[in-house]
Chains A and B, each alone.
Chain A
Amino acid sequence: GQNIDQPTEMTATEGAIVQINCTYQTSGFNGLFWYQQHAGEAPTFLSYNVLDGLEEKGRFSSFLSRSKGYSYLLLKELQMKDSASYLCAALDSNYQLIWGAGTKLIIKP
C-alpha cells in the first residue's frame, strides 16, 4: 500500500533550527510536496522536490532522497509564526497526491 510517515508533533525554540522528516512508500513517484497549515486555515504550498538534493527557499529548505524514500523540511531562524502543521505529500505514478497526517510544530519563546 501507499504510505507517508512523519512525526506527529515536534517542539523547538524561537531562533533555532528544526528538521521535520518524512518517509514515503508509493506506487511510482512523481515528486514530493511540503505544505504549511496554520490551525483552522487551509494548507499553503511550501516546496516541491522531484530530483535528489536540497532546495533552498529563504529560511525554508527541502531535501529529497529518492533511493531512500525520504525527505525533510528544514526551518531556520524559527519565528513564532512558524507554529503550524507541516504536511508531507507524495505524487504517485497516477499523479495522485498521497498525504501524510502532518507534523504539528510548536515554537517556544
Chain B
Amino acid sequence: EADIYQTPRYLVIGTGKKITLECSQTMGHDKMYWYQQDPGMELHLIHYSYGVNSTEKGDLSSESTVSRIRTEHFPLTLESARPSHTSQYLCASSESAGETDTQYFGPGTRLTVL
C-alpha cells in the first residue's frame, strides 16, 4: 500500500487568496495525479505528471497550476481562489504500466472558498 499524504485536510479561505495544496508520496512513484471531486460526483482529472519536470493538464479545465521538481512532491496552486473552486481535491500516485499502474490516493483536501 502506498503512503501518500496531503495537507491541509480542510481549508476555508476567502475569495482572491492564493493557496497551495500539498501532496507527497514516499513510494518513489513516477506518476502523480490531481483530481477534483464534488460530493457524490465523479472524479475529474485536472493535472498529472509522469516524472520530474513533466506536467500535463487533464480533462477538466482548471485555473490551477502544478509543479514537479522532486519525484515525491506534487503541489497544486490556485493563484486566486473563487467560490467555484469549492470541492474535494484528491492526489494520487502510481508506479508504471499494467497492474503497477494502480493509483493510490491520498486522504484529500476539502476546500471551501467563501
Give Cα A33–Cα B103 distance, bound, in whole angstroms.
10
A-B contact count (CB 8 A): 45
Give Cα A95–Cα B43 distance, bound, in whole angstroms.
17
Docked complex: A29-72 residues within 8 A CB-CB of B: 30-31, 33, 39-45, 48, 50
Closest B residue, CB atoms, query A45:
B102
Majority secondary structure of chain A interface residues (helix, strand, loop or mixed): loop
Task: Say yes or no: A45-B40 contact (C-beta < 8 A), given A31-B98, A50-B98.
Answer: no
A95 touches B105 (CB 8 A): no
Q: Mark B77-110, 1 if CB is under 8 A from A, else 0.
A: 0000000000000100000011101111111100
Give Cα A31–Cα B54 distance, bound, in whole angstroms.
24
Give Cα A95–Cα B99 distance, bound, in whole angstroms.
11
A91 touches B101 (CB 8 A): yes
A33 touches B102 (CB 8 A): yes
Q: Mark B17-61, 1 if CB is under 8 A from A, else 0.
A: 000000000000000000000011111010000000000000000
- Smallest CB separation, A28 vs chain B (Å): 12
B107 touches A102 (CB 8 A): no
B40 touches A42 (CB 8 A): no
A48 touches B99 (CB 8 A): yes
B interface residue numbers (CB < 8 A to A):
39-43, 45, 90, 97-99, 101-108
